[in-house]
């Protein structure tokens, strides 16, 4: 195949893969695009050509899938347009290195000629995605497993092997399909593909966790404060008035405001104002979660924190997994200059503890995670199985009217599937939603509206296999596939596909 055509096709396939994610939810599309990518790898003349094909696919996928970062950098971070575009290109190029590495390794002749090649591709792809989600604090956005939540039959595997396991099975299915496209005389690949998807459908029928107690009434508040006005001192009174009215309108026992809903430090918040809101929560025999920044006298740091007020003793949760260049500047001697070109308030947060436990609120055990934290499933399960509810608070106003907030919603849907728990999302501008333990959005508010979502949520107990074992099961599967692939490739019993 012509080299230039292959690169154009790979880029287009990467762009098309984005349609598998929210807000489109066309989960069969990534199966097709990844199969065609695998076919391009099999037809590459050299490992270098396969690596370039994988890199180009990645540039299409991330270039189309994370364009909302331009909104964050330019519209709200006030970075110069050319610099914002350059930063986005550099990030996409870094992320594209991971599919490039997968293509490079799997294109070596002794691997490509092995009967175990599909398993090798799947294992290396999943391992590369895990590395992308781990190195330099990680950026696991657009991990292809997310595209299967919640409707795909493969989503049945989420409570067992998590999102990286879904990525592995999706790429395994795609590699089998690619091998069939290359050699249509062999139909054993369809047997494998059909079996995996049928098992996934069967797993969807299993209830890994059980309801605990009566449903609790909840109110998820969406203040809809414009990002370009949120940190202006003259707008503070209006913001606090909006949330005071939303809280007073709530009929629920558990009331949740978004991340840093009040743009001030906890120590600066008027005590009579907080007492008024707490009294309303107590009148409902419940509790209220409020997001504020927090100064610490013990370590002179400041934290992105959720505070509780109401019937239960006051508790708090400090954000652990911070956003690089958004909430802290890594390697300040090298990257400190970014503060001068990226005007983001409070860009030097400290980390909360990784061992924080669920908050006892409104008769539930609530595992709080703030914004970007719900992208890391292996960290969410650290508060399980003790927690009965998951709560994500966020300010996705940084993404504007892009596909970013919907992609974040789908990530929360995956966390609900993995843990067998309701996920309650309270966001500034959307998507504020209630997600059940099957990953289905039960109710949501329209984006960019000022409102409260008043409904009920069911607490759950028990533990899914993913909660018990985390990513260890998918690592075991990756190890077995890599071992089988290596033995098949280097033994004298190789078989041509």
Torsion sign across C-alpha atoms 218, 451, 275, 233? positive
Sequence-distant (6+) residues with CB within 8 A of 392 are 368, 369, 370, 371, 373, 374, 412, 415, 423, 424, 425, 426
The residue annotated as part of the active site, out of 129, 259, 294, 327, is 259
Kindly calculate the radius of gyration of the chain based on its CA atoms and give it in whole angstroms: 24
Question: Which two tokens mark 387?
Answer: 């927690």
Q: What 8-state DSSP symbol labels residue 214?
A: S
Share of the chain residues as helix, strand and coil, in percent rounded to the nearest 5: 55, 15, 35
Give the C-alpha separation, 365 to 345, whole Å: 32
Helices (H), 152-304: 158-182, 188-203, 227-230, 236-248, 271-283
Beta carbons of 364 and 216 less than 8 angstroms apart: yes
Active-site residue 92, yes or no? no
Question: Which two tokens mark 205?
Answer: 């029928």
The residue annotated as part of the active site, out of 319, 327, 373, 418, is 319
Give the C-alpha separation, 255 to 309, whole Å: 10
| Torsion-angle region of 310 (φ positive above 0: left; ψ -120 to 50: alpha; else: beta) | left
Sequence-distant (6+) residues with CB within 8 A of 462 are 208, 209, 210, 385, 420
Torsion sign across C-alpha atoms 414, 420, 425, 430? positive
State the burial class of residue 340 (Cβ atoms within 10 Å of its Cβ: 0-12, 13-18, 19+).
Answer: exposed
Question: Which two tokens mark 483?
Answer: 């071992």
Beta carbons of 453 and 444 less than 8 angstroms apart: yes
Q: How many CB atoms lie within 10 A of CB 243?
A: 22
Q: How many CB atoms lie within 10 A of CB 317?
A: 28
Active-site residue 267, yes or no? no
Active-site residue 179, yes or no? no
The residue annotated as part of the active site, out of 371, 373, 418, 437, is 371
Question: Which two tokens mark 132?
Answer: 């992308």
What amino acid positions are annotated as catalytic residues? 259, 319, 371
């Amino acid at each position: 195949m012509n080299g230039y055509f292959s690169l154009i096709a790979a880029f287009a396939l990467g762009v098309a893969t984005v349609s598998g994610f929210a807000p489109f939810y066309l989960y069969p599309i990534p199966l097709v695009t990844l199969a065609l990518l695998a076919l391009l790898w099999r037809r590459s003349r050299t490992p270098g050509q396969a690596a370039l094909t994988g890199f180009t696919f990645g540039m299409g996928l991330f270039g189309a899938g994370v364009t909302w970062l331009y909104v964050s950098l330019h519209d709200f971070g006030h970075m110069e347009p050319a610099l914002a575009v350059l930063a986005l290109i550099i990030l996409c190029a870094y992320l594209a290195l991971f599919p490039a590495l997968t293509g490079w390794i799997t294109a070596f002749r002794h691997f490509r000629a092995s009967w175990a090649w599909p398993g090798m591709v799947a294992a290396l792809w999943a391992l590369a995605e895990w590395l992308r989600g781990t190195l330099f604090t990680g950026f696991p956005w657009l991990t292809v497993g997310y595209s299967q939540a919640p409707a795909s039959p493969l989503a049945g595997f989420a409570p067992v092997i998590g999102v990286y396991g879904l990525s592995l099975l999706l790429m395994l299915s795609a590699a089998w399909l690619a091998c069939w496209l290359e050699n249509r005389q062999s139909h054993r690949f369809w047997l494998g593909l059909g079996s995996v998807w049928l098992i996934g459908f069967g797993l969807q029928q299993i209830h890994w966790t059980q309801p605990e107690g009566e449903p609790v009434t909840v109110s998820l508040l969406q203040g809809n404060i414009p990002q370009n006005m949120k940190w202006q001192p003259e707008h503070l009174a209006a913001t606090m008035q909006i949330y005071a009215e939303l809280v007073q309108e709530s009929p629920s026992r558990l009331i949740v405001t978004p991340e840093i809903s009040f743009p001030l430090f906890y120590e600066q918040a008027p005590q009579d104002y907080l007492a008024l809101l707490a009294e309303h929560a107590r009148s409902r025999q419940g509790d209220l979660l409020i997001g504020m920044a927090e100064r610490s006298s013990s370590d002179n740091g400041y934290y992105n924190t959720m505070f509780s007020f109401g019937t239960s003793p006051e508790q708090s949760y400090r954000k652990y997994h911070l956003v690089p260049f958004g909430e802290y500047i890594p390697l300040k001697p090298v990257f400190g200059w970014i503060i001068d070109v990226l005007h983001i308030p409070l860009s030097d947060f400290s980390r909360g503890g990784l061992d924080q436990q669920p908050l006892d609120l409104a008769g539930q055990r609530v595992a709080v995670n703030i914004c970007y934290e719900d992208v890391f499933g292996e960290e969410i399960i650290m508060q399980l199985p003790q927690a009965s509810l998951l709560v994500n608070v966020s300010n996705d106003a940084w993404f504007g009217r892009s596909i970013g907030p919907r992609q974040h919603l789908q990530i929360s849907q995956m966390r609900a599937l993995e843990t067998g728990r309701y996920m309650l999302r309270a966001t500034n501008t959307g998507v504020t939603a209630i997600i059940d333990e099957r990953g289905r959005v039960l109710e949501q508010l329209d984006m960019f509206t000022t409102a409260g979502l008043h409904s009920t949520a069911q607490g759950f107990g028990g533990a899914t296999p993913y909660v018990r074992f985390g990513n260890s099961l998918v690592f075991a599967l990756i190890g077995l596939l890599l071992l089988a692939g290596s033995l098949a490739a280097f033994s004298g019993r190789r078989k041509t596909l």
